[in-house]
């Protein structure tokens, strides 16, 4: 069953005293299956956050339909299934992490006896153990992000919506957040997140949607997008001089005592290898370099522009 299904979603805003209308979302379609991690990618201003706000009911779309597990997104049944982490979560500075989560539990009418156990579990799960009684005004941005994730999980939702969840995290924090998201997937949760950090997305996602200028430019399973897609080949060689490489007319970089030659066309590989051997060089390896999510994204961006 589809956890999220968006059909022909449109959203515009007016400015200049309501004289001019700006079309932000121009009829987008998104489909997310249950148990998937869906990466919603796009440059700044493409419409990622606007889409999420429409899903959450923070903005009202001009047109289109949004269903969550078959229910309208603005229904009580749908809202009860969602956990949400905004791009810049904000909490009361003079509460502690524990107090903030207890407050959130009360908003969801979670009985106190269950809330205490749930909060202790979440504090450990998001890496805030030992900081649960610290006032939030002393938290770093990364710690606030972790608390935001705990707050999103407080009612144990089946569907998580995360807006730029890696924002403000250092490399270690990003790794821990990725591990947490993958662990939540193993628990059967469906995760929809927006990001412009493509390396993190590529490590986690099952499916990708690329939005550019308010339109879905490309959507599909990441494995299908990158399978069999060799971008170029690298030939690693040694025992050869730069003067000899120049005669081969190859693009290369030096690393330690080796050279890495980039070959764009597969038909040229044998020619370059034969030239290296002819110059008494040693071919260490010939490596195909697959397309990355970044390559796919940049290609889509170039085609639109």
Structural domains in the chain plus CATH codes: 2-226 (3.40.50.300), 230-290 (3.30.70.980)
Give the whole-angstrom CA distance, residue 80 versus residue 159: 9
Residue 27: per-residue pLDDT: 95
Average pLDDT over residues 215-222: 92
What's the pLDDT at 17? 66
Buried b (16+ CB within 10 A) or exposed e, 137-176: eebeebbbbbbbbbbbbbbebbbbbbbbbbbbbeeebbeb
Tens of pLDDT, residue by residue over 25-60, are 999 999 999 999 999 999 888 999 999 999 999 999
For the cut 70, the answer to whether the pLDDT of residue 18 exceeds it is no
Rounded to whole angstroms, the Cα distance separating 24 from 22 reads: 6
**What are the angstrom distances between the C-alpha of 18 and each of 46, 169, 215?**
22, 38, 24
Query: Looking at residue 234, what is its pLDDT?
Result: 93
The per-residue pLDDT for range 237-285, each reduced to its tens digit, is 999 988 888 888 778 999 888 999 999 888 899 999 999 999 999 999 9
Tokens 């407050």 label which residue? Answer: 103
In sequence order, what DSSP letters do the residues of 184-211 get, joined into one string? HHHTT-EEEEEES-HHHHHTT-SEEEEE
CA distance 119 to 183: 18
Q: Which residues are bridge partners to 219 per DSSP?
A: 209
Determine the pLDDT at residue 168.
72
pLDDT band per the 50, 70, 90 thresholds, residue 140 = confident
Q: What is the pLDDT of residue 151?
A: 95
Q: Which element (helix H / strand E) includes 29?
A: strand 20-33
């Amino acid at each position: 069953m589809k956890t999220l299904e968006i059909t022909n979603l449109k959203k515009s805003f007016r400015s200049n005293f309501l004289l001019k209308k700006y079309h932000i979302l121009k009829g987008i379609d998104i489909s997310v299956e249950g148990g998937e991690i869906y990466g919603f990618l796009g440059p700044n201003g493409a419409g990622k956050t606007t889409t999420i706000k429409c899903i959450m009911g923070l903005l009202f779309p001009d047109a289109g339909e949004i269903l969550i597990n078959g229910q309208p997104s603005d229904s009580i049944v749908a809202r009860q299934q969602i956990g949400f982490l905004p791009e810049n979560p904000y909490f009361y500075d003079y509460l502690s992490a524990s107090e903030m989560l207890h407050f959130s539990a009360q908003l969801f009418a979670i009985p106190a006896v269950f809330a205490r156990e749930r909060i202790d579990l979440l504090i450990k799960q998001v890496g805030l153990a030992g900081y649960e009684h610290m006032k939030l005004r002393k938290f770093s941005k990364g710690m606030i992000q972790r608390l935001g994730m705990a707050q999103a999980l407080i009612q144990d939702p089946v569907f998580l919506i995360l807006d730029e969840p890696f924002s403000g995290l250092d490399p270690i924090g990003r790794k821990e957040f990725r591990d947490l998201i993958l662990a939540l997937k193993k628990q059967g949760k469906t995760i929809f997140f927006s990001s412009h950090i493509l390396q993190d997305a590529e490590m986690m996602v099952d499916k990708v949607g690329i939005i550019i200028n308010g339109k879905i430019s490309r959507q599909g399973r990441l494995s299908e997008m990158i399978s069999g897609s060799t971008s170029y080949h690298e030939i690693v060689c040694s025992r050869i001089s730069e003067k000899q490489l120049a005669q081969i007319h190859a693009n290369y970089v030096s690393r330690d005592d080796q050279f890495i030659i980039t070959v764009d066309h597969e038909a040229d590989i044998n020619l370059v290898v034969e030239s290296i051997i002819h110059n008494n060089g040693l071919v260490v390896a010939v490596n195909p370099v697959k397309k990355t999510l970044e390559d796919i994204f940049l290609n889509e961006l170039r085609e639109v522009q």
